[in-house]
Amino acid sequence: MADIIQLLPDHVANQIAAGEVVQRPASVVKELLENAIDAGSTFIKLIIKDAGKTLIQIIDDGKGMSTTDARLSFERHATSKIRSAEDLFSLNTKGFRGEALASIAAIAHVELKTKQEQDELGTQIEIEGSEIKSQEVVVTPKGTSIAVKHLFFNIPARRNFLKSNNVELRHIIDEFHRVSLAHPDISFTMFHNGSESFNLPKSNYRQRIVNIFGGKTNEKLVPVEEETEVLKVSGFVGKPEFSRKTRTEQFFFVNNRFIKSAYLNHAINAAFEGLMKDGSHPSYFLNLTVDPKTIDINIHPTKTEIKFDDEHTLYAILRSSVKHSLGQFNIAPVLDFDRDKNLDTPYDFERKKVSNPTVEVDRSFNPFQEEKSPSKSSSFSMPYKKEPAAQWESLYVGLESKGTKSTQEFREVEFESQPENESLFKENSSIETKQRTYQLHNKYIISTIKSGMLILDQHRAHQRVLYEGLLKHTMRKEAISQQLLFPLQLQFSSSEMELLLRLKEDLEHTGFVFSKFEDTTIEITGVPVNVPESEVSIILEQLISDAEQEVPDSNFSSTDLLAKSLSKSLAIKGGQSLSNMEQEHLVNSLFACKEPSVSPTNRTTFITMSVDDFDKKFM
C-alpha cells in the first residue's frame, strides 16, 4: 500500500497558521504593535485605511533589523526572543512564537523597511503570499516601518467573513487601547483614513487613561496599590456611581501584557458587591506583577489567556486590595463601633472649656399680663419683644349682640343653584368604572378576549410601541423635542464620540438637539418629549453599548439600531405599577402596531389562553 502521509508545503502551512494568528485586521495590529514595543521603541505610529482591509502600517523608532534579520523574520518559527524551552518560563517580551510575520505575509502584501542606528542604509523587502518579490537597499530612518496591504487577498472566503468597517475598526481600537495602556512610557498615535484618532504622548498611567477615555475619567478613578511577596497590584478602579452597562473599561495587565480572566474579574465584582446596581459593571485598569516562572502564557494563540500557579491566592489579594482602596477613599461604607465621625469636635472648639448650660424658669409668668422687662439674672433672653396683651377682654365685648345679628343675616342668604348635568355622564359612568384589564405582579397585563384571556408583557409591549413610533418619526423627520432650560454637557471617549457622530443625524431626527459636538464633549439643548433630562446620559450610554455590540452591517440601517436602543431604554420596566387607563392604552397601542406579536428584538410580547385551555386544566 502506498504511503499517504506527506509534509505540507510552507505556503500552505503558513496559511493554516494564519488561521490561528490572524483572525481579523485587529490581530495584525496587535502583533505588529507588540513587535514594535519589543524593539525598544519610544514612538509608535499606527496608520489604518478602510478599517485595516486596505492598509495597516506600523512605524516605530526602535533598534531596527539587519539585512539578514529582515529576511529571516518572515520564516516560520524564527524569533529573537527565546533560545531554549526553558526561556518559555521566564518571558519578558510580547512575541515569542515566531509565527506572526510568516502568517501575515502568507495572506497579504507586505512591505518592510528597516534600518539599524549604526547602518547608513536600510533594507526594503516586498512579499506577496509568502513569496518574496524584491529585496533592495533603501534610504530610511532608524527603526522599522511595516505595511500590510490587501489582507486575505488570496483567501476570498476569509475576507468575506470580515464584518463591516465599523465593527473591524472597533476591534482595532480595542487592541490599540490595550497596548497603549500597558505602556504609558511610549508615545502612540493612530490615524484612520487620513484623520488623527488618537495622540497619546508619553505620560504616567493615570494621564494615559485620561488621554484615551476623556478628561471626565479623571474624577472617576480610585488608586489601588498593594505589594506582597506573591503579587504586586497597581492601577485604578472606577467609582461605583460611574459603573457602566458594558465591560469596555475593564483591563487586566499581567507583566505589561493584556489578559482576559473571568476568575480575576469575579474578584473585582466581589469587592464591589453591594455598591452597584444590577446589570452594571465596574471599571478597572489594574497592573499585576508576578514572577514570570509562576505563569504560563503559551496556552492560547493570541496570548490573551494565562495559566497561574496559584489562582486562589491572587483572587484573595486582588479582592482585598480593591476593597481596601474603596474603603480608604470613603467610597465604601466603613462599619466602626468605636467612633462616629459626626461626633468629632470641630477644629475651632477643640481647646474651649465646656460649660454646663443653665436654664431659669419664671413660674409666676402670666401671658395675659403686660410683659415686664426681662431680669438680668436670666441666662437666656428672648430675641424679640412681645407685644403687650393688655385689654384683651375688649375683644369679647358685644359678642352676644353681634351673634344674634349675624345669625339673622345668615338665615337670609340665598344660594345660587347650579344646573344639574349629571345625566350627560350617567350612561358612561358605568363603563368607566368597569375594569377591563388587570396587572399581575406589576409585570403582566391580563385582558379578556372573546376566545378567552390575553396575557401581555408590559415591558416588551411598550418596546414595540416605542420602536415603531421612533421609526416613523425618524423616517419622516417630524419628531418633537422639548428645549432644556440649561444646556446639558456630557463627555465621552474618542471611540464613543465616533459612534455618536455617526448616529448624530438620526438622533436629531428623533428629537435630540445638539449645540456643540467636538473633541470629547457634546452639548444638548433639546431632548425628545418622552425623555426625562436626568436619563439622557444613561440613554446615550446604552446606545453606545448597543452600537458597540451590534454595530449594523451594510444591510442594516443605523436608524433601526437607534430605534431599538432608545425603545429599550425608554420602555416601562417590569415592576412598575400602571393605572387602569394606562393598561388599556398600552393594550390598544400594541394592537395598533404593524407587528404586535414580537418585540424589536423578536421576543414574544403576548400569549393567549382559550376557554378550552382552562377547561382542560379542570378535567
Q: Inform me whether the pLDDT recorded for 431 exceeds 50.
A: no
Cα torsion 469, 471, 475, 479: sign: positive
Give, for 187, the enclosing helix (H) or strand (E): strand 187-192
Last residue of a domain, one of 160, 175, 200: 200
11: nearest Cα among 127, 159, 158, 147: 127
Same domain, 196 and 237: no
**Is 118 part of a structural domain of the chain?**
yes
Same domain, 54 and 171: yes
**Is 161 part of a structural domain of the chain?**
yes
Q: Inform me whether the pLDDT recorded for 302 exceeds 70.
A: no
Do 217 and 521 touch, CB atoms closer than 8 A? no
Which stretches of 454-529 are DSSP H helices?
458-476, 494-510
Same domain, 564 and 531: yes
Same domain, 452 and 586: yes
* 595-618: average pLDDT: 88
**Is 480 part of a structural domain of the chain?**
yes
**Is 444 part of a structural domain of the chain?**
yes
Reduced DSSP (H G I as helix, E B as strand, rest coil) percent helix, strand, coil of the chain, to 5: 40, 20, 40
Give the C-alpha distances (Å, rounded to integers) separating 285 from 20, 150, 475, 494. Answer: 28, 35, 41, 18
**Is 369 part of a structural domain of the chain?**
no
The number of domains in the chain is 3
**Is 360 part of a structural domain of the chain?**
no
| β-strand pairing of 109-115 with 143-149 | antiparallel
Q: Inform me whether the pLDDT recorded for 20 exceeds 80.
A: no
Q: Inform me whether the pLDDT recorded for 49 exceeds 80.
A: yes
Which stretches of 142-229 are DSSP H helices?
156-160, 165-182, 205-213
Last residue of a domain, one of 200, 226, 260: 200
pLDDT per residue as tens digits for the range 535-561:
888 788 878 877 776 544 433 566 777
Of all residues in the chain, the percent with pLDDT exceeding 70 is: 77
Same domain, 451 and 486: yes
Q: Inform me whether the pLDDT recorded for 123 exceeds 70.
A: yes
Which pLDDT belongs to residue 331?
67
Q: Inform me whether the pLDDT recorded for 93 exceeds 70.
A: no
Of all residues in the chain, the percent with pLDDT exceeding 90 is: 21
Mean of the per-residue pLDDT values of the chain = 80
Same domain, 67 and 173: yes
Lowest-confidence segment of 58-67, 414-423, 445-454 by average pLDDT: 414-423
Same domain, 30 and 143: yes
pLDDT per residue as tens digits for the range 191-217:
998 888 889 999 999 999 998 888 778
**Is 125 part of a structural domain of the chain?**
yes
Question: What's 498's domain CATH number?
Answer: 3.30.1370.100
Question: What's 102's domain CATH number?
Answer: 3.30.565.10
Which pLDDT belongs to residue 335?
54
Same domain, 125 and 185: yes
* 499-516: average pLDDT: 83
Same domain, 86 and 185: yes
- Integer-rounded Cα radius of gyration of the chain: 37
Last residue of a domain, one of 281, 302, 328: 328
Which pLDDT belongs to residue 147?
94
Which pLDDT belongs to residue 295?
77
Question: What's 316's domain CATH number?
Answer: 3.30.230.10
Same domain, 218 and 310: yes
**Is 432 part of a structural domain of the chain?**
no
**Side chain identity at residue 70, one-letter code:** A
Lowest-confidence segment of 111-125, 260-274, 506-520 by average pLDDT: 506-520
pLDDT per residue as tens digits for the range 369-410:
765 555 544 444 455 555 555 565 666 666 655 445 555 555
Same domain, 313 and 168: no
Same domain, 485 and 602: yes
Do 480 and 511 touch, CB atoms closer than 8 A? yes
> Residue 455 sits in which domain range?
439-607
